[in-house]
């Protein structure tokens, strides 16, 4: 699946659904399958890489799809989500029920 190219940030990034990576690691196993359940909603998943070096192509490929936007924040200006998903400015634990409920609320109250 095609996706947009990596955007380099020069200011903190905010989005309705946001996940940050402070290191090039494997994404939480719950995140993408649960987000995939909401692919027919207007939600987009914003991934912010807060790493000193840009993510590699294989790093970026871990988050495939047209509903995912990826950003590189080399200065670390975007606040870390510390392994959680930020939905409507609230941190949600990486648990199946919490993710589903948070994404359902965000999709229902899409602004």
pLDDT per residue over 14-63, tens digit each?
Answer: 999 999 999 877 789 999 999 999 999 999 999 999 999 999 999 999 99
Tokens of residue 4, six digits: 């947009």
Sequence-distant (6+) residues with CB within 8 A of 98 are: 92
**Looking up tokens 């699946």, which residue turns up?**
1
Encoded tokens for 7: 């955007």
User: Is the pTM for the entire model greater than 0.75?
Assistant: yes
Nearest-angstrom CA–CA distance, 69 and 52: 19
Q: Which residues pair with 86 in a beta bridge?
A: 18, 91
User: Using one digit for the tens of pLDDT, what is the confidence trace for 69-94?
Assistant: 999 999 999 999 999 999 999 999 99
């Amino acid at each position: 699946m095609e996706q947009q190219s990596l955007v380099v940030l020069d200011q903190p990034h905010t989005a309705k659904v946001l996940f940050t990576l402070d290191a090039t690691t494997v994404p939480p196993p719950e995140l993408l399958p649960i987000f995939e359940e909401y692919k027919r909603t207007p939600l987009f998943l914003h991934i912010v890489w807060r790493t000193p070096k840009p993510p590699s192509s294989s790093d970026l490929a871990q988050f495939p799809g047209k509903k995912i936007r990826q950003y590189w924040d080399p200065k670390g200006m975007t606040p870390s989500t510390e392994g959680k998903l930020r939905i409507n400015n609230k941190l949600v634990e990486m648990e199946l029920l919490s993710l589903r409920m948070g994404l359902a609320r965000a999709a229902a109250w899409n602004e």
